Amino acid sequence: MVNLLELLPEELDDQVVAWGLERYRGRQLAAWIWQKGVTTFEAMSDIPRAVREFLATRAEVRLPCILEKQAAADGEAVKYLLGLADGNAIECVLMQYRYGFSLCLSTQVGCRMGCRFCASAAAGWVRNLTAGEMAGQVLAIRRDTGADIRRIVLMGIGEPLDNFAATCKFLRMATAPRGLGISPRRITLSTCGLVPRIYDLANEGLPVTLAVSLHAPDDRLRDFLVPINRRYPLRELLAACRAYAASTGRRVTFEYALVAGVNDSVGHARQLANLVRGMPSHVNLIRLNRVEGRDFIAPGPRRVAVFRRILEQEGIAVTVRRELGASVNAACGQLRRRFAARKPLEESVARG
């Protein structure tokens, strides 16, 4: 069975022709799937019954299933644990801002980058997601909530650029007028710094916002916090970011998770300012989410304010990320980690 979510709109046109159907049936199917979120052929009322019955023998529209969800007390965020067809699980988070809904989605089952304070890495890497599994997260959450999701953040479980081909295909699905129809300017892709892939992304004609998980202003500290830095040090990473900004016309966002006693000093703030000065960029300060099994903690509000003020005094564009959904334990990867821990026990009980 062909999962139609794996096909770009133009590929869907070609597929229906290959099945001996009229090309315009692809346009009809795309409208039902992408715009209306309909996943059963029986409900596609403007397609003749005989064609619907034929499609049901050849194709499906497969979404991930909702295994668990946690809503924040303030109603501003809902975290989902989603089940995939092979029994694996991923996470995504729906966030509500004054401008509307944004969805933070996953690109891999687990992650192999090994960042020190990341729950996604702690649970290990299993496999890449397909483009359709990424798109399925958007459609599944839209179906569950009715939310008009107009912004997407690839900042959930996984390193998007470590799954480059599928991520780029998903971005084309998301931005296609006959797909999700979301402007590239409303999509953010977060990377820990796979330098060659940043150059590749700049050449894809997909001018999404690039967010780099920086977290340290010097190589020695970043080698420890973000191990990929040992392969692609800051000098190479910053050069790639400058090239991306020049190619796309988009400023780069630098994500900086503040860890008490590790990277939050006045000296660190001044080093960070020197590092990014002169680049079209923006620094997003994040108070670290607590992760089970990790000793790192966030600094207090006063420490965060001092760090921010120093960057502002140095002429750096900076914001402190608004904390959404703290009550749903929003550190990415923690729901999946618990799911992975209890799954062997449940299977053992089932076997008796």
Helix (H, G, I), strand (E, B) or coil at 221: helix
What band does 98 get if pLDDT is binned at 50, 70 and 90?
confident
Measured between alpha carbons, how far is 117 from 321 in angstroms, rounded to an integer?
A: 17
Helix (H, G, I), strand (E, B) or coil at 44: coil
For residue 349, pLDDT beyond 80: no
150-159, 189-198, 233-242, 332-341: least confidently modelled range = 332-341
Q: What is the pLDDT of residues 223-258, one digit of tens each?
A: 999 999 999 999 999 999 999 999 999 999 999 999
Nearest to 228 by CA among 106, 118, 104: 118
For residue 21, pLDDT beyond 70: yes
| H helix runs in the chain, sequence order | 9-18, 24-30, 49-58, 119-122, 131-145, 164-175, 195-202, 219-225, 234-248, 266-276, 301-313, 334-351
C-alpha distances (whole Å) from 69 to each of 39, 111, 112, 193, 335 are 22, 22, 25, 30, 9
Active site residues: 91, 332
Q: What is the pLDDT of residues 26-41, one digit of tens each?
A: 999 999 999 999 999 9
Which amino acid, 13?
D
In order of their start, the domains of the chain are 2-60 (1.10.150.530), 63-178 (3.20.20.70), 192-321 (3.20.20.70)
User: Above pLDDT 90, what percent of the chain?
Assistant: 82
- Cβ contact 102:93 at 8 Å: no
Measured between alpha carbons, how far is 59 from 110 in angstroms, rounded to an integer?
A: 28
What is the average per-residue pLDDT within 220-224?
98
What is the average per-residue pLDDT within 13-21?
98
Phi, psi at 174, each rounded to 5°: -70, -35
Bigger pLDDT: 332 vs 233? 233
Helix (H, G, I), strand (E, B) or coil at 130: coil
What is the average per-residue pLDDT within 48-77?
94
Ramachandran area for residue 75 (φ above 0: left; ψ -120 to 50: alpha; else beta) = left
For residue 348, pLDDT beyond 50: no
Strand partners, 83: 65, 89
137: its two tokens: 């997260």
SS3 readout for 294-341 = CCCCCCCHHHHHHHHHHHHHCCCCEEECCCCCHHHCCCCCHHHHHHHH
Measured between alpha carbons, how far is 33 from 14 in angstroms, rounded to an integer?
A: 16
- Burial of residue 277 (number of CB atoms within 10 Å: 0-12, 13-18, 19+): exposed
Measured between alpha carbons, how far is 135 from 78 in angstroms, rounded to an integer?
A: 18
Model pLDDT, residue 222? 98
What band does 347 get if pLDDT is binned at 50, 70 and 90?
very low
Average pLDDT over the chain, rounded to an integer: 92
Measured between alpha carbons, how far is 176 from 168 in angstroms, rounded to an integer?
A: 12
C-alpha distances (whole Å) from 319 to each of 163, 253, 308 are 29, 10, 7
